[in-house]
Structure 1
Amino acid sequence: MSLEFLITTLIVVVSPGTGALYTISAGLRRGGRASIWAALGCTVGIVPHMLAAITGLAAILHSSALAFEIIKYLGVAYLLYVAWATLRDTSVLSVEADVADRSVRQVIVEAVLINILNPKLSIFFFAFLPQFVPASAPNGLAQMLALSGVFMAVTFLVFAVYGLFAAAIRGQIVRRPAIMVWIRRSFAGAFVLLSARLALTDH
């Protein structure tokens, strides 16, 4: 594993995207525990794309305009749903000591779906991993699996830091309802913008 891979991975993961945004939102809305579950869910949501890239399914997705468009617009619809749900969720106005089991399941499912319904992740892995695995490598599959594992570990750690930081300042923010309303609207708007960017993406 090269230092170049680690640096590139860190840059990619640190850059704000739907997963990071959702994890931060979970930390603000439901606290530290929820943000960890969100980070885990977003990381698990990477697995199908990683496997698709490694097995070559990403190439099929990339070559099939119809398949790409179907998955893309499912992702757009889900991001718009998340934006709508964020606007409607007023639970952030009360600080809960813990998160109920149902809420944990909801956070994980939402986080997993956010990444699963992003077809660009498959294309990203398909283009990203081969750069760090020589074509002549006798154990190329094992190397790609190892690199993918590192990518997922970095994703979880970075997202968890984002979420825990959001949770740490949550107590100060939730005592100011006007700020919480503004934050909810900002996150909802950000999810709408991300959905628009995904909708305009060409395969």
Structure 2
Amino acid sequence: MLELQTIMMFVTASTLLALAPGPDILFVLTQSMTKGSRSGIVIALGLCSGLIFHTTAVALGVAVIFQTSILAFTILKFVGAAYLLYLAYMAFKDASKSKLESDKSPLSLKALYKRGIFMNITNPKVSIFFLAFLPQFTNAEIGNVTAQIFTLGALFMLCAFVVFSLVSLLAGRVGAWFAQTKSGEKILNRAAGTIFAVLALKLAFASK
């Protein structure tokens, strides 16, 4: 059982880390502004669900593979970069459509949830970060370390989801106001496409 002081310190650190500018929060921000708060919250849930993969990887020692194997790290990061480039293409494509055309085939909540999961698990740097971060708050003297890792992972997911959801609500309102005009909607989609492209390049050239 983790001590209360340890939990408080971990929750504080996790909340601050979730607030820090990074691929996940930028992804939530852009999707909420272009698709609405509800979509952003579903994507946030997907992103946080993806953290189950990284937590399990750390708890079972699999995350070490991404830290030590250049091939595994490179394959996963290029898959993630390719997916981000695809999202960038779709955002620019939406920017070229009329509002009526864009509204014809909105993504389902299930598709948005899957998008969040895929976005998260294809970033090997998250596993490496968890590998360095989570064990700092464990203590072998108070119980099973693997169980503590899973507990900490769950707490991090909760903190991240709360932060991302609040960002979604705010960004969704800003996006709805900005997209009242045809030009505003196009600008939002182009901005989202640019951010996705930049994130793709950043991930593609990322090193361990």
Q: TM-score, normalised by structure 2?
A: 0.87
Q: Give the percent of matched residue pairs that are identical in Structure 1 and Structure 2.
A: 31
In structure 2, runs of 5+ residues without a counterpart are none
Deviation at 1:78, TM superposition (A): 0.8
Structure 2 partner of 1:176? 181
| Counterpart for residue 31 of structure 1 | 36
| 1:71 paired to 2:80 | no
2-structure distance, mates of 1:171, 1:124: 34
SS for the counterpart of 1:46 is: helix
Deviation track 1:67-115 (CA, whole Å, cap 9, x = no partner) reads: 1111111111111111111111258946x99x97x52122111111100
Distance 2:9 2:46 in 1: 27
1:184 corresponds to which letter in structure 2?
N
- Counterpart of 1:128 (choices 125, 128, 133) is 133
Pick aligned residue for 1:45 from 35, 38, 50: 50
Structure-1 separation of matches of 2:99 and 2:166? 22
1:118 paired residue number: 123
The 5-angstrom pairing of residues 1-203 of structure 1 reads 1=4, 2=6, 3-90=8-95, 93=99, 103-203=108-208
Are the equivalent residues in 1 in contact too, given 2:134–2:152 (CA < 8 A)? yes
Root-mean-square deviation (CA), in Å? Answer: 2.2
In the TM superposition, residue 135 of structure 1 has moved relative to its aligned partner by: 4.4
Task: Return the letter of the residue paired with 1:147.
Answer: L
Distance 1:21 1:93 in 2: 24
Residue pair 1:18, 1:114 contacting (<8 A) in 2 also: no
| 8 Å CA contact 1:42, 1:114 repeated in 2 | yes
Counterpart-to-counterpart distance in 1, 2:98 and 2:17: 29
Q: Cα distance, 1:186 vs. partner?
A: 1.7
* Worse overlay, 118-127 or 186-195: 186-195
Q: Is the 8 A contact 1:92 1:180 kept in 2?
A: no
Conservation of the 8 A alpha-carbon contact between 2:34 and 2:189: no
What's the offset of the Cα at 1:16?
2.4
How much has 1:161 moved relative to structure 2?
A: 0.8
CA distance in structure 1 between the aligned counterparts of 2:207 and 2:32, rounded to whole angstroms? 32
> Which portions of structure 1, spanning 4 or more consecutive aligned residues, are displaced by more than 6 angstroms?
none
Q: Which moved more, 1:107-116 or 1:190-199?
A: 190-199
- Provide the rounded CA distance (Å) in 2 between the counterparts of 1:70 and 1:147: 28
Identify unmatched segments of 5+ residues in structure 1. Answer: none
